[in-house]
Amino acid sequence: MRETDIAVIGAGPAGLAAALACGESGATTLLVDFMDAPGGQLIKQTHKFFGSERQFAGTRGIQIPDIIMDQLSKMPNVALMWGTNASGYYADSGVLTLEDGARFIKAKAKRVIIATGAAEKPLAFENNDLPGVYGAGAVQTLMNVHGVKPGDRVLMVGSGNIGLIVSYQLIQAHVEVVALVEAAGRIGGYLVHAAKLRRAGVPILTSHTVVRALGEETVRAAVVAEVDQSWQVKPGSEREVACDVICLAVGLTPLVDMMWQAGCEMKYVPALGGHVPVRDENMRASNPAVYVAGDAGGVEEASSAMISGEIAGISAARSLGFEVKEADARLAQLKADLAAIRSGPTGEKICAGIKCATVCGGEW
Amino acid sequence: MLRDIEKNGIVKWEDVQASRGCPGEGRAKKGPVAVIECLQEIPCNPCETGCRFGAITVGDPITNLPVLDEEKCTGCGTCVAVCPGLAIFIEDESKDGPEAMVSVPYEYMPVPERGAEVRATDRSGQVICDAKVVNVRKPKGFNKTAVVTLAVPREYVHVARGIAIQ
């Protein structure tokens, strides 16, 4: 059986940042991801990041994995396993089961940092199983990873940052975005992203939803309609919009299966996207061997995922007695950065969710 | 009260003018100057760190709206390229003649070339006028965001904000 001080599950922004902190401490670290290359969602994020320089502001998401991997690959104490699924965690023994398509591998870890990210939520409407109805993540993967045009005319559903950004990237790929509909009365994501779309001529229809998809073999149109404040379709407001793709960007839910397996205390927090582990301020779950980082602990932005990953990495290494240089000052800075990112009106919901998911008093 | 921009995504010039990211009336007649159309408190400060003249202040917390010091601003356009929200423009009404210059961030392909005749769009994507591309800058430091300078009729200096995609 393979042994390691710390295993990091998931090599997205949170997992990469966590592994880097663990690696710096000298702890033997195993970083696992089911994809064939590191980066998670970063590999399709062609836009420039927000935040401050410490969170790579101004750098495009796709450029970040190389920057971190450059450091990680020089660390002899960090092992990397791509194309490897973490399929189970046995809390009584700290054993992880991994499979890489050919082999079934057991790894014993003293600490596990779970940075598994989040999955897209679907939306229920008539004919939503027609080919041409996509999740925004799939559209982004097709376009930005594989260079495949998902269609010619897209109706985007959802005005969070993902819906806004993927719409912009579709236009960059010379795909027409016929409209963006949002059931709420206001745009959910950053207004600068929305303004960018508007300048490209995309109508943004708040208080509108998709009612059904039309088409026999594939999508040929969508029926959209206005909704009232209680989310009911206003009679007579239905109209047909010609499109061959209906792209759903209606939110994410944390991927927390391993945390359930680890027996972590879980809580349903809608503001964070669903069930999340209760954690302390250092990202430790109720199971003292388990830490959570990034969207797996609550859906936010990649910049906050990198910060929570670093916090989890430093804390897990320290809990095993590894020296982390200026750990207290770094943790204080990271927590201040997180608080700053979450400040202001756009962070109110997240702050309320985090408060709800954090153990009383901030410490176990 | 919801502002219109929260409903339709269209920036209103009056809201920009009322913000501290907007230069005063007449400043652009003296020379190029940044117009920051950032109206929502989001966590972001590359405009501040990217400006080597110290003309933009976000400060602490990072969600503050940017404040422009129009005296320090040289209209160099670095902030236009580094703003991740593509929300900063340069206006220049200092040249004699019927045209004013507006610089916009541009991330579509192909990037128009200097001298090209294009159509300028407003903040809702409507074509408003013909425009001539008088400069295109895309140095490495701009990280793949081009800054395209358009010559537009003077009356559109606060209106022209994009180029109809070719």
Q: Is A313 a residue whose pLDDT tops 90? A: yes
Over range B131-152, report the average pLDDT: 97
Residue A232 has a pLDDT of 96
State CA A330 to chain mean position distance. 24
Query: Which residue, A110, A240, A98, A105, is CA-closest to A179?
Result: A240
List residues bridging with A274 in a β-sheet: A269
Inter-chain touch A52–B45, beta carbons under 8 Å: yes
B49 to chain A, any CB pair closer than 8 A? The answer is: yes
Q: How confident is the model at residue B164 (pLDDT cuts 50, 70, 90)?
A: very high
A111-139 residues labelled b (16+ CB within 10 A) or e (exposed): bbbbbbbbbbbebebebeebebbbbbbeb
Chosen domain end from A212, A233, A248: A248
Q: Is A356 a residue whose pLDDT tops 70? A: yes
- Average pLDDT taken over every residue of chain B: 96
Q: Is A115 a residue whose pLDDT tops 90? A: yes
Inter-chain touch B108–A172, beta carbons under 8 Å: yes
Instruction: Summarize pLDDT for B42-89 with one digit per residue, the tens.
Output: 999 999 999 999 999 999 999 999 999 999 999 999 999 999 999 999
What the block records as the tokens of A335 is 């927590």
d(CA A291, CA A95): 15
Q: How confident is the model at residue A361 (pLDDT cuts 50, 70, 90)?
A: confident
Among all chains, which residue has been given the structure tokens 């490495």? B140
Q: Is B145 a residue whose pLDDT tops 90? A: yes
Binding-face residues of B in 21-40 toward A, CB within 8 A: 37-40
Same domain for A129 and A194, yes or no, is yes
Among all chains, which residue has been given the structure tokens 């109706």? A155
Same domain for A260 and A112, yes or no, is yes
Q: Is B6 a residue whose pLDDT tops 70? A: yes
d(CA A74, CA A67): 12
Same domain for A238 and A131, yes or no, is yes
Over range B107-127, report the average pLDDT: 97
Instruction: Tell me if ipTM is over 0.90.
Output: yes
Same domain for A282 and A215, yes or no, is no
List residues bridging with A86 in a β-sheet: A98
d(CA B131, CA B166): 13
Chosen domain end from A231, A248, A265: A248
Inter-chain touch A186–B7, beta carbons under 8 Å: yes
What range does the domain containing B132 cover?
A: 4-163
Q: How confident is the model at residue B3 (pLDDT cuts 50, 70, 90)?
A: confident
Query: Which residue, A304, A302, A303, A278, is CA-closest to A292?
Result: A278
What range does the domain containing A44 cover?
A: 2-119+252-362
Query: Which residue, A187, A158, A184, is CA-closest to A346?
Result: A187
Q: Is B2 a residue whose pLDDT tops 90? A: no
Instruction: Summarize pLDDT for A173-227 with one digit per residue, the tens.
Output: 999 999 999 999 999 999 999 999 999 999 999 999 999 999 999 999 999 999 9
B144 to chain A, any CB pair closer than 8 A? The answer is: yes
Write the DSSP assignment of A232-301 as a string of letters: PBPTT--EEEE-SEEEE---EEE--HHHHHTT--EEEEGGGTEEEE-B-TT-BBSSTTEEE-GGGGS---
Distances (CA, A) of B127 to B115, B124, B155: 19, 9, 14
Select the residue of A53, A196, A342 nearest B86 (Cβ to Cβ): A196
d(CA A336, CA A313): 17
Same domain for A136 and A84, yes or no, is no
Residue A344 has a pLDDT of 86
Same domain for A350 and A206, yes or no, is no
The percent of residues above 70 in pLDDT, for chain B, comes to 98
CB atoms within 10 A of CB B71: 10
d(CA B7, CA A249): 18
**Cβ pairs bridging A and B (under 8 Å):** 139
Same domain for A127 and A106, yes or no, is no
CB of A192 closer than 8 Å to CB of A283: no
Kindly report whether the peptide bond that precedes residue B139 is cis, defined as omega within 30 degrees of 0: no
Chosen domain end from A199, A220, A248: A248
- Domains identified in chain A, total number: 2
Same domain for A154 and A256, yes or no, is no
Same domain for A283 and A192, yes or no, is no
Residue B1 has a pLDDT of 60
List residues bridging with A246 in a β-sheet: A133, A155
- Domains identified in chain B, total number: 1
Same domain for A227 and A340, yes or no, is no
Same domain for A103 and A29, yes or no, is yes
Over range B116-134, report the average pLDDT: 98
Instruction: Summarize pLDDT for B25-44 with one digit per residue, the tens.
Output: 999 999 999 999 999 999 99
Q: How confident is the model at residue A74 (pLDDT cuts 50, 70, 90)?
A: very high
Instruction: Summarize pLDDT for B102-114 with one digit per residue, the tens.
Output: 999 999 999 999 9
B1 to chain A, any CB pair closer than 8 A? The answer is: no
- Contact residues, chain B, for A52 at CB < 8 Å: 43-45, 49, 62
Instruction: Summarize pLDDT for A7-37 with one digit per residue, the tens.
Output: 999 999 999 999 999 999 999 999 999 999 9
Same domain for A169 and A197, yes or no, is yes
| CATH code of A63's domain | 3.50.50.60
- Helix, strand and coil in chain B, % to nearest 5: 20, 30, 50
